A and B are shown apart, each in its own frame.
Chain A
Amino acid sequence: MNNYKKLQHNIIVLSFVLVLTMLLSISCSSNANNNKQLKDDTISKVKKTDGVHTDEEHNEDKAIKLTAEEQKEFQIEIKKVKPGIIQDHIDLTGEIIPDPTKLAHMTPRFSGIVKEVKKTIGDKVKKGEIIAIIESNESLVTYKMKSAINGTVIDMHMTIGESVNDNSHSITVANLKTVWGNFSIYQKDLSKIKINQSVLITTMSELYKSNGSISYISPMIDEKTRTASARVLLKNNDGIWKPGMFVTAKVLTMQKNVPMVVSKNALQLVDGHIVVFVREKKGFRAQAITTGLQNGQYVEVISGLHQGQEYISKGAFMLKAEIEKESFGDDHGH
């Protein structure tokens, strides 16, 4: 729109000049200097008045002042840099399987006809307790199928009169006082998962929780799924962990005491540097830091801060934006 100002001047100057020359030539007065001066002034006067933002250098060292009321108004929270523990977790998915060391498969020794079924799936059995009686086809003699361990019948396919002649008619008894959690580990996580790491196991609906630790990691990677498996031994006195149950395991993969931690929210990226806003006498200042370990909430600070320093733990974005304010300017969709 600037141009029109110049135009206006031009119209006026032009007409001035035109008419004044006429006047001068006739009235023989010497007004020429005036005229010239006027014109010169006009040109130098023509300047834009609309400000485009000044291109100020970004200055990370600029202190931003915020009064206590403003901090409250903007919901800015301040914390102190202090030592802390950085933990990290990995979630694994898997299922509950019976403990194979406490599992018994009983198979009919001779093919024959089932004469009697004493127990059914879910029944508790003691070691040596009779589960079924079968008559051998060859000798026509009956023999007993007994439980080899204390446990619960978890699988059997026998009905009276049924002919049993192969392994498909085995009886499985499991001791479910302890069960295994069997989890797949993807390649990317392998390096982080170690034996004896503590684990929190939850069901999908997070109804049940139980603590345990990793007792075994398979030395081989499954060719098909490209995953390794990890095992967690679970006590199951209440019987809540049922084999086949789909569970997730939160593995504590890292835990370290570090001298300085800050909230992850405090970190802002300014001009390619990671900064934290620290409180100083003049106001808040962006302090570049180097970070170490981190998890979802906290970050270890290796350098740039010292213990006890106050920093903005929440609302730091506003201050970052304040620093970058000059650059984002008055752009409006277009």
Chain B
Amino acid sequence: MTTAIDYNVKNMKKIIDFVLKNRLLIVVIGIFIIVGGYFSYQQLPIDAFPDVSPTLVQVFTTTDGLAPEEIEKYITFPVEVAMNGLPNIKNIRSVSNFGLSVVNIYFEDGTDIYFCRQLVNERLQEAREEIPEGFGDPQMGPISTGMGLILFYYLDDQSGKYSLEELRTIQDWLIKYQLQTVPGVTEVLGIGGWEKQFHINMDPNGLLRYNITINEVVEQIKRNNLNVGASFIEKDAEEFIVRSVGLATKIADLENIIIKAEDGVPVYLKHLAKVKIGGAVRRGVQTRNGEKEVVSGMVVKLYGTNSSTVISRVEQKMEEINKILPEDIKLVPYYQQKTLVEAAVNTVTTALWQGILLVVIILMLFMGAIRPSIVVALSIPFSIMFAFIGMRFFNISINLMSFGGLAIAIGMMVDASIVLVENIERIKNEFTTKESLMRIVARAGKEVLRPIFFAIIIIITVFIPLFTLQGVEGKTFKPLAYTISLAMLGSLLFAVVLAPVLSSLIMKKNKNNTKNAQKENWIIRLLLVFYKPMLTFFVKVRMAAVVLAILILCVGAIIFPQLGSEFTPTLQEGTLVLRLSMAPSISLTESTRITMLAEKRLLKIPEITEVITRIGRGEVGAHTDPINSAEIYIILKEQNQWRDDTNQEDLEKIIRKEFGNIPGVLTNFTQPIRMTVDELLEGVRAELAIKLFGDDLEILKKKAEEIAAVIRTVSGAADIQVDQISGKPQLRITVDRHAIARYGINLADVQEVIRTSIGGEIAGQIFEGIRRFNILVRFAPKFRRDLNAIKDILIDSPNGIKVPLSQLAKIEEVVGPRQITREQSQRFISIQCNVEDRDIGSFVKEGQNKIDEKIKLPAGYLVTWGGQFKLQQEANKRFAIVVPVTLLLIFFLLFSSFNSLKNSFLILLNIPLALVGGIVALWLTGQNLSVPASVGFIALFGIALENGMVLVTYFNQLLREGLKIDEVSVKGALLRLRPVLMTAITTALGLIPLLIASGTGSEVQRPLATVVVGGLFTSTILTLLVLPALYKWFAIKVEREIR
């Protein structure tokens, strides 16, 4: 062992000697790193938060008019099947809704998104072949993530003279294409208003009168709306291109299409139908302020691009667009991620600067000199720049968490340099030698660099468990762990390589040594007045130190159980969204009406200036919400104009209270990014999810209810909920095969008429320049609006007889599925539940047994048990290994640093005391135990050890120099008061800005900072009072023999 240590020491010496010999080279390298860091910084993407979206490719297929069952059968299933067996695939989930199929293909985290898309695209070709003609074309969603919705705007028509169709046309044909040209924008999705269509509202009596079928009308329209090219002719020396122009361009053109000629009398379309401009079938509406519908658009950012630059480009483009729009129409953004990005980056940048400032002040105060302070302070930019280079290397964007990591590390970055520079100062002052500054630096370095090295390595090591975090927490906190580790590595590099060089260059050798030698800094002297008697007391009465330590631990043990717990505190995005969930059977008209009522109510609340709501979904790509779901974006006054000086969370409560209840509407608050990400994330939010897989929806529903009933009898079950898979009313038309056989009608003929007359059929397009609008042929509303009207729809038989539909089919109102969800290519229903006052493992076992006993499942039906508890078990297993291993690793590091078990134990004592400080701090500030708090605890592990190491190293050194143990304890502690306090205070002060910050994102950093500051407090007490006292029991033995 000793040889290894010697080797280490020698190495350290070698490094210092080498460094000091090649000072110019080192300075140049340092400059290179700083410059490189700056360039990396400029190239780093800037986001608000780390992107926690899963690696996911979405496949959307729209087919107007198909019910969920048909969507599943004809579209979802072929797509799913095609995707099976792709490499790196994690899961396939699908939702078949009315008119929309969404298949989510989840890949393992970290798989390249373009690679995934390529794989999916290849397989989509197969799927397309399987999907019947006319049932839609599956398309991949935008190349984006949950963070991709960067800007929402609406069209403000100040004059009120534009119809919703006109506004939507402007959105779809002008604004959309303009915005899509902006680099970094992958998609612009419109919603609201009406997509313009030419409606041909057929009068069925007219069809009867002239003996025409609706499908003949469709055909005729198609055949009378064409342009053709006929190459060219030569005339003299010139060429003439020949084209025949026959495209309909206006309503009159359509009206005058001849459908049939009888006895030379033409039957025009206008005789059979009313032609007018109308809106396409829509599944989404956008409303504003409870007053009116508006047209709106969403800008989707390309995956991996820099949010802030894309947003500013989009803004610029919007200004240009505003100039070319008709005078009364303006684009008004109502949600921008930019404000969020700016706010988040601002919060941490401010904290960063404040931290730097505070740290520098402390340095100046404690060092009492400018030059050493400069050397130490230079560690900050160096470490940060080093971290930037690392971030570029690891592809980490600048965001709240990664920058937050830097802000947290500010105080720690200087620690290593402080210890070194302080030692140089001390030696310089202490020994009025004639040694050159170089020699002093070398000596000081040799004394402290080893513990510094190990201390920093330990700090980095403690972050290892964070790197094993998975899922959302992993994605959220890994950037932080990365930047802290990188910055610490940078600071180590600085301390070992650059600090000695800079010290030798910048620091001055004292001119009048004698004077300075006695003169300690005044603060230190002041502190020493209090510290010295306390220290001597504890060193003398060692049991007092033990009692103190135990007392502190007891406090921690008492307080700890009182802490509440929560997840990651919710990031306040600064934009409130109130989500309304209405009955699944609701119509869009009714949900729009109710939403506008809700909007009116919200506007009565004085803090709210404007509300804009998206109901259902617009153009496919971003949202898949059904029409019973509405999301109200609440635009608030500036915070200082609120009635009470409250924060966003309290305001939510106020709004909730004043908003009250609207019958049949469930409300909950959410935020834009969170909402989108939640939607993309797979899985259920309850602890336990029992999934029943099977084919028949009825059986699934019945059995799921049975299972739920059984689970209720298991003790500890709480919040049991069965998925609501049905609830959407259907008008089911079942064609009677005997009836149609009697008339000689084919099933398809009947269904075609049903589809065309009720749903409508597209009969080509009307072109206005390059803008194209569909021509929709269907019955006039009067003839298809209710059951009786539908019963009377006439079907043509081959021998010319017309038969009403009710004579050929059974028409009934039934309740059908609201949507069909599938996982791993099978339908399922999930029963969610939480477990209270009981170990979840035994609960699952009991539940499984009971279900096996009491419930008989038909063949092909399968129950699986999953949910958070499974992830939890996996994560627990992982942590059960990682945490002890990390602790062991730390212990080894300590041991190899001190070569003494006792010393290592002594230093490890810091950890529990530090934890107590963190717990008390949380308790005092009324915060809960949360993920960031535990990240704080992890960071504490490392930080708490650092000071102890510095101190014990020095004790050992003094011991080796031949002092008595008690003397060693007192003298060592007194001499090391300055570096220990300095490192502790700089670290703590570096965090103060995060503690007091109230900006966006501060709520995530605060628990972390609280824990570290609190922990530092107790661990510093321990280091300064208890550790010296206990040192006697833990001191190394060898020294006495030498003595």
Task: Check if A332 sits within 8 Å of B679, measured CB to CB.
Answer: yes
Chain B CB within 8 A of A318 CB: yes
Q: Are A328 and B905 in contact (CB under 8 A)?
A: no
Q: B510 on the interface (CB 8 Å rule)?
A: no
Main secondary structure of the interface of A (DSSP, over half): helix
> Restricting to A34-67, which residues have a CB under 8 Å from any CB of B?
34-35, 37-38, 41-42, 44-55, 64, 66
Residue among A2, A44, A49 facing the most chain B CB atoms (10 A cut-off): A2
- Say yes or no: B664 contacts A320, CB within 8 Å: yes
Most buried by A among B93, B629, B929: B929
A16 touches B915 (CB 8 A): yes
Contacts of A4 in B (CB 8 A): 469, 473, 567-568, 875, 931
A15 within 8 Å of B by Cβ? yes
One of A38, A225, A331 near B560 (C-beta < 8 A): A38
* B100 closest partner in A (C-beta): A333
Using Cβ atoms and an 8 Å threshold, which residues of chain B touch A20? 553, 912
The listed residue (A8, A44, A50, A296) touching B934 by CB distance below 8 A is A8
B554 within 8 A of A: yes
Supposing A16-B912, A204-B203 touch, asked if A225 and B905 sit within 8 A by C-beta, the answer is: no
Give the A-B pair count, Cβ closer than 8 A.
Answer: 239
Contact A31 B550 (CB under 8 A): yes
Given A5-B929, A23-B909, check contact A15 B915 (CB 8 Å): yes
Residue among B473, B546, B557, B663 making CB contact with A321, cutoff 8 Å = B663
- Interface contact A93-B679, CB-CB below 8 Å: no
CB A265 to nearest CB in B, in angstroms, measures: 12
A37 and B557 contact, CB distance less than 8 A? yes
Q: Mark B915-935, 1 if CB is under 8 A from A, else 0.
A: 100000000000001110110
Is residue A137 contacting chain B, with contact meaning CB distance below 8 A? no
Is B941 in the interface zone, CB < 8 Å from A? yes
- Interface presence of B837 (CB below 8 A): yes
The chain B residue sitting closest to A322, CB to CB, is B663
Check: A218 CB closer than 8 A to any chain B CB.
Answer: no
Q: Do B719 and A11 have beta carbons less than 8 Å apart? A: no
Per-residue A-contact encoding for B634-668, CB less than 8 Å = 1, 0 else: 00000000000000000000000000001111101
Known: A14-B883, A42-B561, A320-B583. A34 touches B912 (CB 8 A): no
Chain B residues positioned under 8 Å from A27 (CB to CB):
546, 549-550
Task: Confirm or deny: A238 has a beta carbon within 8 angstroms of a beta carbon on chain B.
Answer: no
Question: Which A residues are in CB contact (< 8 Å) with B561?
Answer: 38, 41-42, 45
Q: Which of A10, A73, A248, A334 contacts B876 (CB 8 A)?
A: A10
Q: What 0/1 pattern do residues 248 to 286 of A give for CB contact below 8 A with B?
A: 100000000000000000000000000000000000000
Given contacts A1-B567, A2-B868, A204-B205, A188 and B806 within 8 Å (CB-CB): yes
**Contacting B581 at CB < 8 Å: which of A5, A44, A322, A329?**
A329
B95 within 8 A of A: yes
Which of B565, B628, B833 touches A9 (beta carbons < 8 Å)?
B565
Q: Which chain B residues lie closer than 8 Å to A50 at the CB level?
A: 567, 685
Q: Mark A9-26, 1 if CB is under 8 A from B, else 0.
A: 111101110111011001
Assess the B786–A296 pair: CB atoms within 8 A.
Answer: yes
When C-beta atoms are compared, the residue in chain B nearest to A43 turns out to be B839
Nearest CB in chain A: distance from B669 CB, A: 12
- On chain B, the residues within 8 Å of A216 by CB distance are none
What's the nearest-Cβ distance from chain B to residue A227, in Å?
8
Asked if A155 is at the interface (CB within 8 A of a chain B CB), the reply is no
Q: How many residues of A are counted as interface, with CB atoms below 8 angstroms from the partner's CB atoms?
A: 75
Complex partner residue of B807 from A34, A55, A187, A318, CB under 8 angstroms: A187
Q: Which residues of chain B are near A188, meaning CB under 8 Å? A: 804, 806-807
User: Which of B213-221, B358-366, B483-491, B619-627 makes up part of the contact surface?
Assistant: B619-627
Residue B594 CB within 8 A of the other chain? yes
Interface size class on chain B is: 35 or more
* Contact of B89 with A by CB under 8 A: no
Complex Cα distance, B355 from A106, in Å, reads 115
Known: A26-B1033, A226-B803, A320-B583. A329 touches B687 (CB 8 A): no
CB-based nearest B residue for A64: B663
- Asked if A29 and B938 sit within 8 Å, CB to CB, the answer is no
B721–A53 CB distance below 8 A: yes
Other-chain residue from B565, B568, B663, B941 in contact with A74 (beta carbon distance below 8 A) = B663
B325 at the interface (CB under 8 A from A): no
* Chain B neighbourhood of A34, CB < 8 A: 553-554, 557
Determine which residue in B472, B579, B600, B934 has the highest number of CB atoms from chain A within 10 A of its CB, and name it. B934
State whether A5 and B786 are in contact (beta carbons under 8 Å apart), knowing that A52-B721, A74-B662, A333-B624 are contacts in the complex: no
CB of A8 within 8 A of CB of B565, answer: yes
**Please, how many angstroms separate the alpha-carbon atoms of A246 and B95 in the complex?**
49
Is A116 positioned at the interface, with any CB of B under 8 Å from its CB? no
Bound: A246/B549 CA distance, A: 103
- Any chain A CB within 8 A of the CB of B430? no
Contact A47 B876 (CB under 8 A): no
* Chain B residues in 8 Å Cβ range of A186: 803-804, 807
Q: By the criterion CB–CB under 8 Å, are A333 and B868 in contact?
A: no
Pairwise interchain contact A15-B832, C-beta atoms closer than 8 A: no
Q: Is the CB of B915 within 8 A of A331?
A: no
Q: State the CA gap A306–B629 with chains docked (Å).
A: 37
B909 touches A3 (CB 8 A): no
B608 at the interface (CB under 8 A from A): no
Flag whether B411 is at the interface (Cβ < 8 A). no
CB distance from A182 to the nearest CB of B (A): 14
The proximity string for B residues 440-475 relative to A, scoring 1 for CB distances below 8 Å and 0 otherwise, is 000000000000000000000000010001001100
Q: Are the CB atoms of B884 and A49 closer together than 8 Å?
A: no
Report chain A residues within 8 Å CB of B546: 27, 29
A324 lies within 8 A of chain B by Cβ: yes
CA distance A16 to B663 in the complex (A): 51
B664 lies within 8 A of A5 (CB): no
A52 touching B685 by the CB < 8 A rule? yes
Contact digits for A166-187, partner B, Cβ 8 Å, 1 yes 0 no:
0000000000000000000011
Distance from A272 Cβ to chain B, minimum over Cβ atoms (Å): 9
**Do B930 and A8 have beta carbons less than 8 Å apart?**
yes
User: What 0/1 pattern do residues 59 to 95 of A give for CB contact below 8 A with B?
Assistant: 0000010100000011100000000000000010100
Q: A7 at the A/B interface (Cβ < 8 Å)?
A: yes
Residues on A with C-beta less than 8 A from B560 are 12, 38, 41-42
Choose from A3, A26, A51 the contact partner of B872 (Cβ within 8 Å).
A3
Q: Given A35-B557, A246-B209: A325 and B915 within 8 A (CB)? A: no
Q: Is the CB of B583 within 8 A of A3?
A: no
Residue picked from A29, A38, A225, A333, most chain B C-beta under 10 Å? A333
Expressed in whole angstroms, the minimum distance between the Cβ of B1026 and any Cβ of chain A is 11
Residues in B whose Cβ lies below 8 Å from that of A318: 594, 662-664
Answer yes or no: B231 CB below 8 A from chain A CBs. no
Instruction: List, in ascending order, chain A residues with CB within 8 A of B135's CB.
Output: none
B834 at the interface (CB under 8 A from A): yes
Separation of A75 and B662 alpha carbons in the complex (Å): 12
Complex: how many Å from CA A188 to CA B739? 13
- 10 closest A-B pairs by beta carbon, nearest first, are A321-B664, A3-B872, A41-B561, A8-B934, A322-B663, A321-B583, A52-B719, A246-B209, A318-B663, A333-B624
> Measuring CB to CB, which residues of chain B are less than 8 angstroms from any residue of chain A?
93, 95, 97, 102, 203, 205-206, 208-209, 465, 469, 472-473, 546, 549-550, 553-554, 557, 560-561, 564-568, 579, 581-584, 586, 590, 593-594, 597, 600-601, 623-626, 628-629, 662-666, 668, 678-679, 685-687, 708, 719-724, 727, 743, 786, 788, 792, 799, 801-804, 806-807, 821, 832-834, 836-837, 868-869, 871-872, 875-876, 879-880, 883-884, 887, 905, 908-909, 911-912, 915, 929-931, 933-934, 937-938, 941, 1033
Q: Can you list 19 residue pairs at the A/B interface with Cβ under 8 Å?
A: A1-B472, A1-B473, A5-B930, A14-B879, A29-B546, A29-B550, A37-B557, A49-B565, A53-B721, A91-B792, A188-B806, A318-B663, A321-B586, A324-B583, A325-B666, A328-B581, A328-B584, A333-B623, A333-B625
Given contacts A8-B929, A64-B663, A332-B678, 12 further A-B contacts (CB under 8 A): A8-B930, A10-B883, A11-B883, A15-B887, A49-B566, A74-B663, A186-B804, A246-B205, A317-B590, A318-B663, A320-B583, A321-B663
